[in-house]
Structure 1
Amino acid sequence: MSEREVNISVRNLVEFILREGSIDSKFMSSKRAQEGTKAHQKLQKINSKEFEKYSSEVYIKQRVQYENLSIVVEGRIDGIIEEGGKKIIEEIKSTNKELSLIEEDYNLLHWAQAKCYAFMYAEEQGLSEISVMLRYFSLTTEEVKEFIKDYKKEELAEFFFGVLDKYYIWAENTLKWESIRDHSIEKTPFPFPYYRSGQRELAVASYGTIKEGKKLFVQAPTGIGKTISTIFPAVKAMGEGKVSRIFYLTAKTITRSVAEEAFQKLKEKGLDLKVLTLTAKDKICFCKGESCAPESCPYADGHFNRVNDAIFQIITKEQYFTREIIEKYAEMHRVCPFEFSLDIALWSDCIICDYNYAFDPRVYLKRFFLEASSSERYAFLVDEAHNLVDRAREMFSSELVKSDFLKMKKLMKGKAPNLYKAANSINSYFIDLRHLCEDDNTTFIVQKKPPEDIYMPIRIFMKEAEEYLTKNANTEGYEELLDLFFKCNGFINITDLYDDHYVTYVDTEDRDVKLKIFCLDPSKNLKEAMKRARGEVVFSATLTPLNYFQEILGGNEEDYRLKLPSPFPKDNIDIMVAPISTRYKDRQDTYDIITDYIYSFVTMKKGNYLVFFPSYAYMKEITQRFNERFNDINSIVQQGEMSEEERENFLKEFKEEPSETLVGFCVLGGIFSEGIDLTGDRLIGAVVIGVGLPQICLERNIMKDYFNEEKGRGYEYAYMYPGMNKVLQGVGRIIRTEKDKGAALLIDDRFLTPAYERLMPPEWQPYKLIKNREELRDNLREFWNKDHEEGFHNDVKEHYVY
């Protein structure tokens, strides 16, 4: 992008400038999630045979020079038809709606988009007149309804420039801001006086990766400062024009807070940057429990009439768009805070958000990744990337259950005959699936092919549901139908991805019938999703083994890898292994001995401790015994479902300079085993019980069989690697800074096997083998009594920044 040039896509331009009215409903906002690409391809294939001359997906660009800047508008025309010497611009829209309900002015934005394309093409080709054809493609029947209008170039020009003139003030503001931003980036130094050991190496590798448009996989232990070491070089690359926007992608709210703090540090050093944190809709909504419709939500009512004023005010007055700031302006302008935040994203330099917004095919930000101008260049910073494996499987999978359709059948009986019939058809299909399992004397069936025989019944159900939802807002069963419509829509969308990385399975074990399209290996889909960015840095403290994560997260041999050692002295942590079997069959025999081990561990030094269990049931048994026998020790226990406030209150119990010992009992792999920072003496020790294996279940066993066949390492991929990752995360809570010191006790005999020893980080070696409680106490006594004050930082390499 040149210094005085702003780029925008036709679709984003039209929808931003011309939108008006209310947010009609959650249902109406789903249109973009439907199968547009597939429908376009079908219709374009038909058109290529039907018309004399037909071109599809024609790229077009128009540069308009104003006094002090250029606005470049670009996009892809769905189709250009040449018939009898006449040029026709084709705009294709797909829908589940009954075509008889769609009239010529069904959606004026559709015409607006087509008219802009028509002017741009007429201008490019020197045409004085041109036609526009708007074609609606039924996803259910594959029928087409079309409308055609003829235009003179002059009236199209008046429309096009009228839209562009309204956009000028936004373009001018963008260029002014980019000048301020880039100047500040050039002057902003690294926000700390020195680089920790490994930190400079990570920052340099991240910068080089983004600059080259490559992909980097990083295993960097706790304490290196991964967040600032990836954000700082990405910001510098932005200042040099290598990227236009940064996406900081996370799995957990607490990790987003760490990213916000890193940007705040840079702000304190003089950085001017617009940073947005996206908050989930259910958390930021002002009218929780209400539908997004003007009759039930005052913020939805007339939202689009007010939202652009709200956007302009917030982007000209603020730089950090946190949840609190967004809510403040949304309340002030009476707009929906969630939709408002999505619009602010277009004016933000960095977006801190969940993985879903970049990768999930159902909810990813199409305004950036599908409809953005070609000048956009993104950097993805993927934090805590070990979480992305299972999250990606979830994103690229979809399921339906019989009970939903049975309930809908009952709700629609006597009210909507066609919808009742469609729900009944799918319910009958599920009954047949149950009979198949019963005939084979099993509770599940796994197939390596898509369930294509259910696709058409689902499409018919969606067509009938769309018609009902359009006409019957706020009636009984509306919300249930809306939810089921989205499930069906998501299911159909995922079918396009089905390949040999998938299986289909039917599960009847829980008195219901579940049909799932299950993505076993998300690597291919993630690789495609990663292409939305120019450069990616994928990092975590626990990408172990690194080659496994690089492969499963969509990497290849050409990608960069970086494995960094811990920046802290080995003497800061004491790793012990007690070889007691915690396998499920042995657990009942271990309750008392493990209770004793925990007591011995936490009584050798006053302080705060965490104990991680492989399950809630195991935790309950031992916690009960511990509290009955050792009621002199304070303890708190993680609950199954905890609100954000309850989580914060739990962590607040871990105070600095505690006057007495506190033990927190938690579940390994849960909310307190990763992403929390209890620095200093807020946490001085952790006990990890078991090797963290995921619970044995149908899906894990399907994965095991698949990876046995594909890689010869089914157990490792399905159970061992995910389990050990939880262990590494749990122990990683202890040492967060160079001043932290702590002990870890690993209880399980499997830790002594070569397979698990190979997964242990170098700083855990050599660990101490603990055969009884006396050895445990002796080892801890020696560790805690050791004088670390003299030369405590001798092994910490510090690279000062001048």
Structure 2
Amino acid sequence: MKKTFKISIRELVEFVYKEGSIDVRFQARSSMTIGTKLHQKLQKEYKEGDEKEVFLKGERAVEDIVYQLEGRCDGIHYENGEVIVEEIKSTARTIAQIEEGARVHWAQGECYAYLLAKERQLKGIGVQLTYIEVESEKTKSFTRTYTMEELQHIVDETLVAYTPFASLILSNQENRIKSIPDLVFPYPTYRKGQKNLAGAVYKTVTESKSLYANAPTGTGKTISTLFPTIKAMEKGLSKWFYVTAKTITRTVAEEALALLEREGLSHRAITITAKDKICFQEETICQKEYCEFANGYYDRINGALIDILTQETILTRPIVETYARKHRVCPFEFSIDLSYIVDGVICDYNYIFDPKVSLKRMSDEGKKKTTLLIDEAHNLVGRGREMYSATLRKSDFLEIKRKYPEYVDLKQSVAEVNKQFLRLEKEQGEDVRNKLDAELVDEVQSFVEIAEKYLGEAEEDWSEDFLQLYFDALHFVRISNLFSDEHRFVIDQTPKGVEVKLFCIDPSKLIKQITRSFRSSVFFSATLHPFSYYFQQLGGCEEDYRFLIPSPFEKEQWQVGIHPISTRFKDRERTLSSITRSITEAFNENKGNYLVFFSSYAYMREAFEEMIKEGMNAEFIIQEPNMKEADREKFLNEYQSDRDRPVIGFAVLGGIFSEGIDLKGDRLKGVIVVGVGLPQPSRDHEIIKDYFNERGLNGFDHAYVYPGLNKVFQSGGRLIRSEEDTGVLRLIDDRYLSPKYQSLLLEEWKDYRIIHEKRPLV
């Protein structure tokens, strides 16, 4: 029985014919100068009767595979009874350097010509390959004519070369489909609420809906979302993405897949590691002259793909690195290429949500068969604001003008941008505006176009500052196209001069815009609390499913105490000794390893220095800013259950040790949270506050209280990680006893005792 394999013409020919090296020296990114704009420019010149953007499809059998081929050709010309298919390519090279066109481009045109000739029963047909130079917009065309037999031979030759890869994909797919019906949950029993969560995820995915789930620590969220999502692959789902903000949660997802594999799952998944972390070189310079793994990448990548997909299933960072070294290919680009082929992808939020780096090759049809699993979804609110905001500084433009005075049009463009900055500085009125400043955006757009022209000149050694400004300006233009009622145009005076920011206050609509294009999405976290706030901020709407489950742990596992001491900034000096006494008291009452969280590095260090004077029988360690992975591991490795001297670690709320870490059993005896986590007052937080006040909501809660408490909940959640864990949670701040904070406390924390300070004897 023959198998069917659907593939786009572009994907087919790029796999078979693409060759050479990775070279990201510089590629113009502005939509004003590449791609669609240049194609449309040529297509507007078509004579009457010619066609553009024509969708073609057809079948061709090779061996035991029936290939379903499809694609959209750029144009069809009709000249003197002849039919000519046109393929248009934009290029950063000068067209004088192009002598006959690349084989991969000819192959694309030839395959389109084959489909058209077969559909219209033509005996002969032409192919025109047209290159358009990005900088000058000059064109150069090459034309060849073919018989139907010649085209059929070319297509067959191409498919024969692709077939080993297609056979591997089909075999893996068949094994996956066979393994899913008998796949069972990899634990003997479900934890409290876990089966309900898995059922809710399965229902969501099979019905192509969205789900927002608050599932407390200990629910087993990773396996409870991955297992039903993979089971739903029986119902037409072809792919999933597990997206998260933390490296540690990616490891948990890999471990969950390994459990399912032991239960019989046949399945392939890749973990994408950031380029700067996985790069084999000292400096990340993706050019063949600097990197052996970039040099000849496309000549070797097909062998690497077939090898790893034949031998491996869970493609973790070490496995990707092993095969990348074996085949001498760039490990980052290797993982990106794999991400389009495998069943599941574990990656950071930005590969889905960030307009700067999202995976661009994913087709709309592919998205409709793909589910997003969004872990620690509370983090996506802040990350969304960052991704959909953009900032430009006047000083950065003036620096480029100073560095490159000889480039007249670049200098002139910078001067025009500077003129807009000066105008904004002089204008009286609001520094926070509801409307975009169109004049500034126009000049920044012009700068992007001129910068692209110069950055494309390989012989010039352009500075990192210039390249960074280009990317900042390009991002500014992109965000200007997304600017809406949920944004503000902000003008700020800084010590370095004026800067402007397109500030995204509420990312909900933009997040929803992304998730709507996928089959389904599941947002889950232990701390979507208060639920109504996160449901709105993450794009939830009336037809979406909501799911809240209680903690699977018993209240008796927590020993919660609230110590009502003021941690407000004005009181900190006065109350610091009371706070350190409270920490000492908690430790002395329940000896063991502790994590103590503070709202800032400065506050934490003050308390740390006070505590080390106490002469306690404990080891003190402290979180440093910008800790490297090795230092983080060293910090966590101090938490061992068999220590002679327990460890007391000082860390920052919302930092690297406040979520995504598991210190089970006696590795962690207590967590102490000093303060309520309120962010420092800032222009951005005040804008958020005003925005929600204007909409009849409590702006202070939205800007300060809810984000602050989320950090508290995450930090406290480090304490109880399994049914066997018990421990001490101490919340130090008098606000925890106020009606507002009482109403927002997690249910499992409400059975608390109030701690009264023991006055030292005089």
Give TM class, smaller chain: over 0.9
1:178 aligns with 2:183: no
1:221 aligns with 2:213: no
Unaligned 5+ runs, structure 2: none
Q: Secondary structure at the match of 1:389?
A: helix
**Which residue identity does 2:403 align to in structure 1?**
L
In structure 1, the residue matched to 2:549 is 564
- Contact 1:612 / 1:689 at 8 angstroms: preserved in 2? yes
1:775-800 Cα distance to aligned partner (Å, 9 max, x none): 9xxxxxxxxxxxxxxxxxxxxxxxxx
In structure 2, the residue matched to 1:313 is 307
User: Map of 1:335-734 to 2, 5 A cutoff?
Assistant: 335-369=329-363, 377-414=369-406, 417-418=407-408, 421-423=409-411, 425-426=413-414, 429-430=417-418, 432-434=420-422, 436-437=424-425, 440=428, 445-473=431-459, 476-734=461-719
Is the deviation greater in 149-158 or in 310-319? 149-158
Q: Secondary structure at the match of 1:267?
A: helix
Cα separation, 2, equivalents of 1:190 and 1:756: 38
- Contact 1:60 / 1:77 at 8 angstroms: preserved in 2? yes
Is the deviation greater in 281-290 or in 381-390? 281-290
1:13-64 Cα distance to aligned partner (Å, 9 max, x none): 2222221111123424xx6x54289963796599579753576654432222
**Which residue identity does 2:377 align to in structure 1?**
A
Against the structure 1 CA distance between its residues 68 and 159, is the aligned structure 2 distance closer, same or farther, given a 3 Å change threshold?
closer
Against the structure 1 CA distance between its residues 658 and 632, is the aligned structure 2 distance closer, same or farther, given a 3 Å change threshold?
closer
- Contact 1:384 / 1:539 at 8 angstroms: preserved in 2? yes
Identity %: 43
**Which residue identity does 2:391 align to in structure 1?**
E
In structure 2, the residue matched to 1:266 is 260
In structure 1, the residue matched to 2:64 is 68
Q: CA deviation at 1:248?
A: 0.8
**Which residue identity does 1:715 align to in structure 2?**
F
In structure 2, the residue matched to 1:211 is 206
CA RMSD of aligned residues (A): 3.0
Selected match of 1:52 from 48, 51, 65: 48
Cα separation, 1, equivalents of 2:432 and 2:414: 19
Q: CA deviation at 1:255?
A: 0.6
Against the structure 1 CA distance between its residues 432 and 465, is the aligned structure 2 distance closer, same or farther, given a 3 Å change threshold?
closer
Cα separation, 1, equivalents of 2:159 and 2:113: 15
Against the structure 1 CA distance between its residues 338 and 213, is the aligned structure 2 distance closer, same or farther, given a 3 Å change threshold?
same
Against the structure 1 CA distance between its residues 301 and 635, is the aligned structure 2 distance closer, same or farther, given a 3 Å change threshold?
same
- Contact 1:35 / 1:94 at 8 angstroms: preserved in 2? no
- Contact 1:469 / 1:478 at 8 angstroms: preserved in 2? no
Q: Secondary structure at the match of 1:758?
A: helix
1:518-564 Cα distance to aligned partner (Å, 9 max, x none): 22221121112113421211100000122221221122110111000
Is the deviation greater in 156-165 or in 578-587? 156-165
**Which residue identity does 1:349 align to in structure 2?**
D
Q: CA deviation at 1:165?
A: 2.3
**Which residue identity does 2:187 align to in structure 1?**
F
- Contact 2:257 / 2:314 at 8 angstroms: preserved in 1? no
**Which residue identity does 2:63 align to in structure 1?**
E
In structure 2, the residue matched to 1:278 is 272
Against the structure 1 CA distance between its residues 290 and 727, is the aligned structure 2 distance closer, same or farther, given a 3 Å change threshold?
closer
**TM-score, normalisation: structure 2:** 0.92
In structure 2, the residue matched to 1:784 is none
Q: CA deviation at 1:164?
A: 2.4
Selected match of 2:111 from 116, 125, 135: 116
- Contact 1:369 / 1:532 at 8 angstroms: preserved in 2? no
Selected match of 1:332 from 311, 326, 333: 326
Q: CA deviation at 1:466?
A: 3.4
Cα separation, 1, equivalents of 2:12 and 2:33: 20
- Contact 2:62 / 2:159 at 8 angstroms: preserved in 1? no
Against the structure 1 CA distance between its residues 697 and 427, is the aligned structure 2 distance closer, same or farther, given a 3 Å change threshold?
farther
Cα separation, 2, equivalents of 1:525 and 1:81: 40
Q: CA deviation at 1:7?
A: 1.9
1:589-621 Cα distance to aligned partner (Å, 9 max, x none): 221111111111111121011111011111111
Against the structure 1 CA distance between its residues 532 and 395, is the aligned structure 2 distance closer, same or farther, given a 3 Å change threshold?
same
**Which residue identity does 1:764 align to in structure 2?**
W
- Contact 1:40 / 1:78 at 8 angstroms: preserved in 2? no
**Which residue identity does 1:526 align to in structure 2?**
I
Cα separation, 2, equivalents of 1:660 and 1:723: 32
In structure 2, the residue matched to 1:24 is 23
Cα separation, 2, equivalents of 1:637 and 1:120: 66
Cα separation, 1, equivalents of 2:33 and 2:61: 33
In structure 1, the residue matched to 2:159 is 164
Against the structure 1 CA distance between its residues 111 and 518, is the aligned structure 2 distance closer, same or farther, given a 3 Å change threshold?
farther
| Number of equivalences | 759
- Contact 1:244 / 1:349 at 8 angstroms: preserved in 2? yes
Unaligned 5+ runs, structure 1: 776-802
Cα separation, 2, equivalents of 1:124 and 1:272: 39
In structure 2, the residue matched to 1:792 is none
In structure 1, the residue matched to 2:4 is 5
Against the structure 1 CA distance between its residues 755 and 55, is the aligned structure 2 distance closer, same or farther, given a 3 Å change threshold?
farther
1:101-151 Cα distance to aligned partner (Å, 9 max, x none): 78575765445434433432333233445555666778889x674747364
- Contact 2:413 / 2:446 at 8 angstroms: preserved in 1? no
- Contact 1:122 / 1:153 at 8 angstroms: preserved in 2? no
- Contact 1:12 / 1:367 at 8 angstroms: preserved in 2? no
Against the structure 1 CA distance between its residues 676 and 300, is the aligned structure 2 distance closer, same or farther, given a 3 Å change threshold?
same
In structure 1, the residue matched to 2:244 is 250
In structure 2, the residue matched to 1:761 is 746
Cα separation, 1, equivalents of 2:389 and 2:31: 16
**Which residue identity does 1:364 align to in structure 2?**
S
Cα separation, 2, equivalents of 1:394 and 1:258: 26
Against the structure 1 CA distance between its residues 130 and 499, is the aligned structure 2 distance closer, same or farther, given a 3 Å change threshold?
farther
1:237 aligns with 2:232: yes
**Which residue identity does 1:742 align to in structure 2?**
G
